[in-house]
Amino acid sequence: MVSELKATYEEQGYVVVPGLISDEDRPELEAACDRVITLTRKGTWPHRRTVGKQFPPYGDDNPDSWGVQHVMHPELGEPIFSKWYTSQPLVGVAKSLLECHEEDLQMELFNLLINPEGHNFALRWHRDDVSEKATEEEEREALQHWHYGIQWNTALYQDSCLYIVPKSHKNPRTEEQRSHSNGMAPPNDPSSMPGAIRLTLQPGESVFYNSNILHCATYSSAERRATLHATMGDVRGGSSRARNILQHGLDWMKEDKFRAGLDEKSRPMLDRLIAMRNSAGEVGFSLEN
C-alpha cells in the first residue's frame, strides 16, 4: 500500500514532515552546526558554497558562504551528523518515499545551508539535474527517470528561503514558466513564476522534495539559517544519480576513516555509493554557473 506520505510526495513533488530530529539529537546538532559554520566563515573549512556561485563547482572566489559542504567528513569531527543521517525515523521516511528496502538505500550528500554573512544571495529557477536549456521533449524524458533518490531540507531555525512550483516534477515547463527560467540570473521576484509557492519550515520540520522540481531560493544575510540539506538514493537507480551526486566531490567518503566512524548497519549504505562512484566515469556538472 502506498503511504499517505508517498502519495502526497508523488502528487505534489514535495511533502513536509515534522519531528525527524529527536529531543536528544537537537542540541547536539545545533552545537555541531554552530561549530562547522564558524570554521567555514573563518576560512578554516574549505568545502563550502561560495556567494556568487549557484551550483558546483563552487570555487573559492568569495569569502562569504551560503553552505557548508560534507558535514559528515571525518576531518570535521562531528559524529552527530552521520548518526542523524542514519537514524531510524529518517531512514523510515526515505524507505517509504523511495518504496525500497533498507538494503537498497545509498548514502549520498549531506551539507548544511546557511545564511551568508555579508551579502544577500539567490539561486535562479532550476531543476538540479536538467539544464534550463533543455527542450520540452528533453525535459519530459529527464523527468520520467527521476525516481531513485530523495532530497530534503531540515530546518533548525525557521526557514523561508525555498520556492517551488508544486507538480512541476512531472511536467515540462509551460512557455510562460520557461520565460521565467531561461537565464542564468536569479529572479527579482520569485513569486512572479506561475504556480510558485514559498515554503516556510518551522524549526524541526523537513521538506522532502524531488530535486528536479522547478525551484529557486533567496538568502538574506539578516536571517539566521542553519538547514540540514541531504539526499539519499535507491541503488536500483544504477548510475542515474551519478552526475547529480558525484559532482559535489565525494572521494573523501571512500576513506577508511569515514567508514570506521559509521556503525555496522550503515556501512553497506556507504558501499553502494562507492560502487556507483567506482563505475562512473567523468561525471561533469549538471548546471552552469
Ligand X SMILES: O=C(O)CCC(=O)C(=O)O
Contact footprint for ligand X (CB under 6 A): 113, 123, 128, 153, 161-162, 215, 217
Residue 16 binding partner per list Fe ion, ligand X, none, with a CB distance cut-off of 5 to 8 Å that depends on partner kind: none
Cβ-based nearer residue to Fe ion, 226 or 269: 226
* Smallest separation, CB 28 to ligand X (Å): 23
* Smallest separation, CB 215 to Fe ion (Å): 6
Q: What is the C-alpha to C-alpha distance for residues 109 and 68, in angstroms, rounded to an integer?
A: 12
Cβ-based nearer residue to Fe ion, 128 or 205: 128
Cβ-based nearer residue to Fe ion, 32 or 161: 161
Cβ-based nearer residue to Fe ion, 108 or 128: 128
Q: Give 186-192's long-range contacts (Cβ < 8 A, gap of 24+).
A: 186/54, 186/122, 186/123, 186/124, 186/216, 186/218, 187/122, 187/124, 187/125, 187/216, 190/122, 190/125, 190/163, 190/216, 190/218, 191/163
Q: What is the C-alpha to C-alpha distance for residues 259 and 271, in angstroms, rounded to an integer?
A: 9
286 secondary structure, DSSP code: S
Is position 129 an interface residue for Fe ion (rule: CB under 5 A)?
no
Cβ-based nearer residue to Fe ion, 49 or 70: 49
Residue 273 binding partner per list Fe ion, ligand X, none, with a CB distance cut-off of 5 to 8 Å that depends on partner kind: none
Which residue, chain included where needed, has cell 531510524? 88
Answer yes or no: are the C-beta atoms of 236 and 37 closer than 8 Å: no
Q: What is the C-alpha to C-alpha distance for residues 230 and 21, in angstroms, rounded to an integer?
A: 14
Cβ-based nearer residue to ligand X, 41 or 126: 126
* Smallest separation, CB 172 to ligand X (Å): 19
Is position 104 an interface residue for Fe ion (rule: CB under 5 A)?
no
Is position 108 an interface residue for Fe ion (rule: CB under 5 A)?
no
Element (H, E) at 111: strand 105-114
* Smallest separation, CB 214 to Fe ion (Å): 10
Residue closest to 6 by CA, chosen among 106, 104, 88, 93: 93
Which range touches Fe ion (CB under 5 A), out of 44-52, 113-121, 128-136, 246-254? 128-136
**Residue 52 zone, left/alpha/beta (φ > 0; ψ -120 to 50; rest):** left
Residue 162 binding partner per list Fe ion, ligand X, none, with a CB distance cut-off of 5 to 8 Å that depends on partner kind: ligand X
Cβ-based nearer residue to ligand X, 115 or 266: 115
Residue 70 binding partner per list Fe ion, ligand X, none, with a CB distance cut-off of 5 to 8 Å that depends on partner kind: none
Q: Which three cell numbers stand for residue 219?
A: 538568502
Residue 72 binding partner per list Fe ion, ligand X, none, with a CB distance cut-off of 5 to 8 Å that depends on partner kind: none
Residue closest to 126 by CA, chosen among 196, 65, 62, 64: 196
Is position 128 an interface residue for Fe ion (rule: CB under 5 A)?
yes
Sites of contact with Fe ion (CB under 5 A): 128
